[in-house]
Copies of this chain bind each other. A is one copy, B any other.
Amino acid sequence: MTTQFDNVSVIKQANVYFDGKCVSHTVLFPDGSKKTIGVIFPSTLKFNTGAAEIMELNAGKCRIKLAGASDWQTYEGGQKFDVPANSSFDIETIEMLDYVCYYL
């Protein structure tokens, strides 16, 4: 896992959600794709997806329950999880997450 993205554009203004529990910046790639890089502070939140997403965790620890799932799964730094398009997931952040979100 590389530590940086090269040859990209970055939007200066942050995305701040859930009263500051989630802060991210948007990165634009030459192929027209985008990712967000950000943090989620300890909290229990529900995220809705438009595009399908891959959440890649650089650091932290959380429990995830995808829409329709009955079980919570635990993920930590170095792991990732997939979220379907037009769906949602519940996330309990136990230790602050540092993440990269890929939009597919």
Cβ distance A12 to chain B, nearest Cβ, rounded Å:
5
* Residues of B with C-beta under 8 A to A6: 9
Contact yes or no, A13 B59, CB < 8 A: yes
A65 contacts which chain B residues (CB < 8 A)?
none
Residue A47, interface by CB 8 Å: no
Question: What is the oligomeric copy number?
Answer: 2
CB distance from A36 to the nearest CB of B (A): 10
Asked if A100 and B12 make an inter-chain contact with CB atoms under 8 angstroms apart, the answer reads: yes
A70 close to chain B: CB less than 8 A? no
> Which of B7, B28, B38 is close to A9, meaning CB atoms less than 8 Å apart?
B7
Q: Are B11 and A8 interface neighbours, CB within 8 A? A: no
Q: Distance in Å from the Cβ of A56 to the closest Cβ of chain B? A: 9
